[in-house]
Amino acid sequence: MKYIALFLAIFLMAATPVKAETFQGREYLIHISQGVKQPAPLALLLHGGGGRADELRKYTKFHKQAKKYGMSVVYANASDVRIWGDGKSRPDLDKKIGPMPDDTLYLLGLIDHLAEQGIVDPNKVFVAGISNGGTMSMALACKYPDRIAGFAMIATSQPPNFHCRARDGQGPAIGENPLAGTTPGAPAGTIPFGSRTPPVPAIFFNGTDDPLVPFEGGRVSNKKHDNMGAVLGAKRTLRLWSKRNGCKSKTETNLHNRSRNDGTTVTKVDYNNCDAPLQHYIVHGGGHTWLGLKQNHILDKIFGKASRDFSTNKAILEFWAEEVGPRRSQGQW
């Protein structure tokens, strides 16, 4: 019996308990790994349009791997309509519910709330999201680049009406962010439109056969709405971010096809000599998915194929730990 008790004690110590908390009327789920010194780096996870925090937690299990890197994880919720107010134009949805609020303010408030409690290190905040949550991640990094240590964007690309100003502030090398600009009472870290803005470490994941967000760009649609706005496309988005992050070249590597039955192959693109790290995973034959996870045939038909040649969770965490962490600690941006 004593061995069983010892095993249970070790298991409970290693577990990462989840807590449901509320901030400004919205529930969020937080995982604080046992033994992690606080304040800890934060991974902020954002669900896609129509999703929920608990669904993303169950789907990705990001917290299970994040604890190995000493990170706390928060799965946040959008408003009651389950769409993040990311600044993107969505004609069909806008007609029904009107313009969306600026959710960058909510997320910055949530980060500040956690920092005030001593739970997270406000200088080590990373954000990742899929689809609408990915665009929201970019919105947060674009408007508050001094507050976000890095972001990950999955299964989406940059909308044409949504951009970040170039680092030198000399005209819209990537365009004008509709959420940008300082307003009275704006949170600390707001970058005034037109000023010099720091580069932002970024990692992107796109499937070439995404049935909802076209890889080559164009109109975004789903079963309920035919016009959910548009995107520039994956490669054009990366060209713009390569310019924004000051990258000089890139190297493409075809990853080992570990799962030959999933109908996908993966090319990893590393951008070189950048002011801030930049990576892109192109999943040939892949769909609108969090790559590396198993899914059934029904989901394959709805969202397209999910590659199992690599883990999105691992790729994001290694990028943040190996690329972003050391360079940021050395004061390189």
125-144 pLDDT, tens digit each: 999 999 999 999 999 998 89
- Band the pLDDT of 322: cuts 50, 70, 90: confident
Dig out the tokens for 147 from the structure: 């507050």
Percent of the chain with pLDDT over 90: 48
Q: What six digits make up the tokens of 145?
A: 């680049």
Radius of gyration, CA atoms only, the chain: 19
Take residue 36 and report the two structure tokens written for it.
């992690």
Coil, strand or helix: which one is 284?
Answer: strand
3-state secondary structure 164-208: CCCCCCCCCCCCCCCCCCCCCCCCCCCCCCCCCCCCCCEEEEEEC
Residues facing residue 42 across a β-bridge:
72, 125
Q: Specify the pairing of strand 18-23 against strand 230-231.
A: unpaired
In the predicted structure, residue 278 carries a pLDDT above the cut 70? yes
- All domains of the chain, ordered by start, with CATH? 15-329 (3.40.50.1820)
CA dihedral 43, 49, 55, 56 (to 10 degrees): -30
Q: 302 — phi, psi (to 5°)?
A: -80, -45
Q: What is the pLDDT of residue 98?
A: 67
